[in-house]
Amino acid sequence: MRGGPGQLLAGRYRLTDRPEPFRAHAVDERTGESVLLRALELPALLTAGQDPEDAVPAQADRLVRRVAAVGSVAPAAHPRLLRGVGAFVDGESLWTAEERPAGLTVAELLVGGPVPPYRAAELAADLAGALRALHAAGLTHGNVTAESVLVCEDGAAMLGGLLTGVADEGLAEELGGPGGRRRYDVRATLVGPVAERWPLDGGPAGDCWALGVLVHRLVTGRAPYPEGNVPELVTAVRDGRREHSAVCGPLGPLVERLLQPDPVLRPTAEAVWRELAELLAGAPEPVDEERAARAVTLKPEAPLVPVRTRRGGRRGGRRGGSAEDIGNAGAGGGAGKLSGGGAKPPRIPPSLFGPLLVGGVLVLLVLGIAAVVMFAG
């Protein structure tokens, strides 16, 4: 899309910077809120070479209505869900609009390295709460990825990308039909080798599986499955070839259950949220967590093996927080414990033990000689 700051899209969204190829920041002139616009390129089959002034072809119109229908029933005021604002076609692209408070995506956060396990547990608890609300509304998210999760400046995680995921799946169905090889090929082009997007099953259980993949990524900095290309990834998921969840430290048992191939064996979003709340209630002091994180990161990478079976305000505050600040910010609950604790006394380095011992002996010897001289005198 061409254009720059000041351009108005769909008669509503005023661009605030020069757009990237498939995304742009804007202000919703109806509400004054900052929004993120994401674009999905439509093939000529859907746009039929129409001019922007002409009527939108039927297939593109169906996509817009499909996205709008999901947005209309999604929980609008949940504190851990980014609200989808709308969808529209502009030229040869379908655009989705989503509110965008200040913060960093998990993908941006992970550029600085993995997240400590208990901080990852805080973020995962926020996401489990968001999924719980969506599932209660009869919706499946289908796009729980590092790109769709925003970590606000108050430390809370917010789940976005709902409308983008609906648009992806809708376009794959429009071009490839309800199932089969053609849809797989189209979807592979749209989604790419992103492990969270390729569960063996859909529905709420598929969202929970994706959450397990994302938690593994948060703690280790990588997906549990190979992401070289889509066929390699899909085959590994199907065969259960993945890195063992033990590398996730205290979150390992939960991740192991979330990645079970049988959806019946996976915990629900409600169960995940409760388990993480219990884990955070017993979280160690920061120094202990850092030591545990180092133990996990320094451990040799486990081989790919078959597997058989806070809360603060809704919005982030000021702009400009660094990735380190946002990544380490606590959001309440377990975070209160993680940020507390007094300073521990400094420890004597082992290399000083010898000199200190010799010095002590010499001091005692001098004192002894002085005492003898005094009594003899």
Mean pLDDT of 283-295: 53
User: Per-residue pLDDT for 297 more than 90?
Assistant: no
pLDDT digits (tens, 9 = 90+) for 30-54: 999 999 999 999 887 676 555 555 5
Residue 78 lies inside a defined structural domain of this protein = no
Q: Is 66 in contact with 166 (CB distance < 8 Å)?
A: yes
Q: Tokens representing 257?
A: 């259950």
Residue 228 lies inside a defined structural domain of this protein = yes
Least confident of 55-59, 290-294, 302-306: 302-306
User: Per-residue pLDDT for 318 more than 80?
Assistant: no
Residue 36 lies inside a defined structural domain of this protein = no
Phi, psi of 330 (to 5 degrees): -90, 150
Q: Determine the straight-line distance between the first and last CA of the chain, rounded to whole angstroms.
A: 100
Range of the domain at 193: 103-339
Residue 352 lies inside a defined structural domain of this protein = no
Task: Identify residue 323 by its one-letter amino acid code.
Answer: A
Radius of gyration of the chain (CA): 27
Residue 54 lies inside a defined structural domain of this protein = no
Instruction: Specify the number of domains making up the chain.
Output: 1
The pLDDT, as a whole number, for residue 131 is 98
The pLDDT, as a whole number, for residue 265 is 96
Q: For residue 128, what is the domain's CATH number?
A: 1.10.510.10
Residue 136 lies inside a defined structural domain of this protein = yes
Give the span between the Cα atoms of 65 and 57, in whole angstroms: 12
Q: Is 133 in contact with 159 (CB distance < 8 Å)?
A: no
Residue 65 lies inside a defined structural domain of this protein = no
Residue 22 lies inside a defined structural domain of this protein = no
Mean pLDDT of 138-154: 97
pLDDT digits (tens, 9 = 90+) for 101-115: 999 999 999 999 999
